[in-house]
Structures are given as structure tokens and as C-alpha cells.
Amino acid sequence: MSYVEKTLAGGEEIIHRANFNWTYSFFPVFWFSLGASSLALLFFIQYAAGVPFAELKVGWWSAIVAGVCGSLILLGHIIILVTTEIVVTTYRFVFKRGLISRDTQEVSLGKIEEITLHQSIWGRFLGYGQLVLRGTGVGVITLPDLDDPIRLRKIIENAKSALRQDSRKRQRINDDEDDY
């Protein structure tokens, strides 16, 4: 069960979970591939071409270091991907990071004052961008590169609108009850 699911209030539901764009993972996968391909190349040179180990000793050590570094970079990135939650609920926006320690930034939908989109030319072309949320009493929440940030912005605005309409509806019901 995720952090957000554990902290849902009564009647609160998850509306949307944001996803990272594939470009966010490009360089960790690139470094892993580079390390793995150097190991594969040396394996091929030694066993398929029959070159003795003594002639490839420096190459093997370099390839092992590259493979370990690439693997650690990719592992760290996978941990970030798995442990980060960006969620819009019926009442709030939640940005949670961390595996062992937890860092959360939450803001009530009604307290979000401004949503700013940062999208480069490449971001527009490849469908990613960053959102910056400014809220009353919260400060600034800067999100990483996300898939379709315009859609996420629209979902947040629609959730804010639904919350306002629900609040007005409850107010009218309370006013009607007071009349009796």
C-alpha cells in the first residue's frame, strides 16, 4: 500500500497519479548500457576471438568498474522512480519522495494559488515538462519532468473546481437547514 493510500481521509479518493516521462530515465539507462556493453565486448573478445585473459586484464578491470558504476546509477534511479509519488486526490495534492527517510509536500487543492509550467522545445516535442505549484502556507512545490504536464495541470484545476462546487452545495444545504 502506498503512502498516499495509507493517508487518505474519509471520503477522499485518488483522482490521478502522475508519471515520469521516459526522458527522465534516459541517462541512467545510457550509463548502465555503456557499462554492460563494455563487459559484453570484452567477453566476446576473450571467448569468441580467443584472446588470452592476460592481454585483456586492464580492459576487464575497466569494464568491471564501468559495469558496477552503471549498475549503481541505474539502481539509484529505479529507487527514485519506485519511491516517488505524485498524486492528486479529491482534497489535496501530494508529492512524496524517499525510501528510508520520507519527504512529503502536500497542499490542499483550495490553497493552490498558481501552477506554472516550464516546458522547453524538447519538452514540447517529447511531451514532458515541469510544474511548479505555489500555495498559501506551503511555499513552492517543484515537480520533476513529468509526462503530459498540461494534462496534470488540467486535472488539478478540475479537482479544485469540483471541490469548490461541492463546498457551495454543502453551504446551500446548511443554509436550507437553518431556514427550518
pLDDT of residue 55: 83
- Beta-bridged to residue 105, according to DSSP, are 95
pLDDT reading at 179 higher than 80:
no
Per-residue pLDDT tens over the stretch 40-79: 998 888 888 787 878 888 888 999 999 999 999 999 999 9
CA angle 57, 60, 61 (to 5 degrees): 90
Per-residue pLDDT tens over the stretch 26-48: 999 999 999 999 999 988 888 88
Per-residue pLDDT tens over the stretch 77-98: 999 999 999 999 999 999 999 9
pLDDT of residue 129: 95
Per-residue pLDDT tens over the stretch 105-125: 999 999 999 999 999 999 999
pLDDT of residue 180: 57
Q: pLDDT band for 134, please (50, 70, 90 cuts).
A: very high
pLDDT of residue 177: 60
Q: What is the percentage of the chain residues whose pLDDT exceeds 70?
A: 94
pLDDT of residue 137: 78
Give the contacts of 118 (CB within 8 A, at least 6 positions apart).
129, 130, 131, 132
Closest listed residue to residue 111, CA positions, set 158, 171, 160, 168: 160
Q: What is the pTM of this model?
A: 0.80
Hunting for cell 564501468 — which residue is that? Answer: 66
Q: pLDDT band for 171, please (50, 70, 90 cuts).
A: low
CA dihedral angle for residue 112, residue 116, residue 117, residue 118, rounded to 10 degrees: -130
